[in-house]
Amino acid sequence: MPSHIIQTRENTSLPARIARSAATAEGAHLSTEDFGDWLAERGRANTFRVERIPFAELDGWSFQESTGNLVHRSGRFFTVEGLHVTEDGEPYGDGPYAEWYQPIIKQPEVGILGILVKEFDGVLHFLMQAKMEPGNPNLLQLSPTVQATRSNYTKAHKGADVKYIEYFVGPNRGRVIADVLQSEHGSWFYRKSNRNMVVEAVGDVPLLDDFCWLTLGQIHELLRRDNVVNMDSRTVLSCLPFADASDGALLSDVELHSWITGERTRHSVRAERVPLESIPGWKRGDSTIEHEEGRYFNVVAVSVQAGNREVTGWTQPLFEPVGLGVTAFLTREFGGVPHVLVNARVEGGFLDTVELGPTVQCTPDNYAHLPEAERPRFLDTVLRAGPDRIRYEVVHSEEGGRFLNAESRFLVVEADEADAPLDPPPGYAWVTPGQLTSLVRHGHYLNVQARTMLACLNATAVRTP
């Protein structure tokens, strides 16, 4: 490597290098204009097929006789169990329900979500993968370099090696830029975490099929397109160490941490795993586990063929939400400084009582039958927002390895004092994106939806070195 490049790298802060990549709209290897053709070509180069099947046709999966839990014969991967959640708080909960039952995914192992980065022409590029997941609405989306459960990369499935895994585990991995345990969906996973990593490569990196190098600016452009950048990429990107100055924030960092601690102690949440067959309000058929009122989500089974995966064919259960979700930040400026309104959310599967979520995070159809006073706060403000107040709107899907067609409208909506007051209701606080960047360096502060929203906020911000 030329000495002037080494010297430049040593003299440039990591946030400045990331900002330079974010400000670079075209990469050294693949243009943004050509990305769509590249992704379509990767789709044509492989065989993908997903079919719904009855539970009886699942290979290796069965309902446990004693509990009704859906388990794999290997004892690995994950199980679908029942969950009983009760919440006592001051005030008594923030939603219409203080007790409920539901199916939940229990997957105790920690997976790796890792993006490899490397400089080309003095600009950081990110190694991204065109990865098929059976639950993706369009099957193929842009995933991290490595997206693998421990069962995957230890080859419990007896499949091929996970590509590039050596850059994230073992003694010869590269320079670690970010490495933090983050929660999965607290509404659908029981205390599940993944290791979110960004690692800078040392030396040459072979470019394999289905992978491409993109600048952060290019990825930010793709985050403005529906169902292109997958959830695992979004959560890793949120962990990048952008400059996190909190100048002008309404709450100091100490006050913000104190507020979060207060919210965690304000709620008392008990989440108990129970047999799947015993949860009231849910019924099991030949092909679906569903709520008696047709709300929330279903548990279904699929058969999958994917020519470029470590295992090319398998069957598995998936959770399928009922309806399109809405995930939104309300935003205001105070003293010229942008703030977003976060919600301290209770979700049954969280390791701690609450994590910070967006202002609104729900599926509106699940609340359509309720009186207005019991609908999620600020939902109607978001749904009524005109185009002149919407600063960002894209449909993103959730993790396609466990969830089928789980799509949400992700929005950033400009608000005023009438919509979202300076002094928000209990459970809500105004914070700056920089404060979120600081918090996300630590695990279990921002839920997965808030981390997606942070990645989207970074995509809409113009950052120059």
Q: Which residue ranges are tagged as binding site for dTDP-4-dehydro-6-deoxy-alpha-D-glucose?
A: 61, 149-153, 187, 232, 282, 345, 361-363, 366-367, 399-402
**Two structure tokens written together for 12:** 């440039």
8 Å CB contact between 302 and 51? yes
Per-residue tokens: 212: 């491409």
Tokens of 55: 């539970």
Q: Is 398 exposed, middle or buried (0-12, 13-18, 19+ CB in 10 A)?
A: buried
Q: Which of 102, 98, 64, 66 is nearest to 83 (CA)?
A: 102
Cα gap 44→55, rounded to integer Å: 30
Does residue 212 contact residue 38 with C-beta atoms inside 8 Å? yes
Binding site residue list = 61, 149-153, 187, 232, 282, 345, 361-363, 366-367, 399-402
Contact 274, 13 (CB under 8 A): no
Contact present, 330 and 72 (Cβ < 8 Å)? no
